[in-house]
Amino acid sequence: MNRYAMGDNIAIRLRKQHRTQKEMCEALGYNYYTLSAQLNGHNKMSAYQLYRIAKYLGCTMDELMDGVDDE
Total domain count, the chain: 1
CATH of the domain at 33: 1.10.260.40
Residue 69 falls inside a structural domain = no
Residue 71 placed within a domain: no
In order of 12, 14, 36, 56, 57, the CA distances from 22 in angstroms are 14, 10, 10, 13, 14
- Say what percent of the chain tops pLDDT 70: 92
40-52 residue pLDDT tens: 888 888 999 999 9
How far apart are the C-alpha atoms of 41 and 58, rounded to whole Å?
22
Q: Which domain holds residue 33?
A: 5-64
pLDDT in tens, 61-71: 999 988 776 55
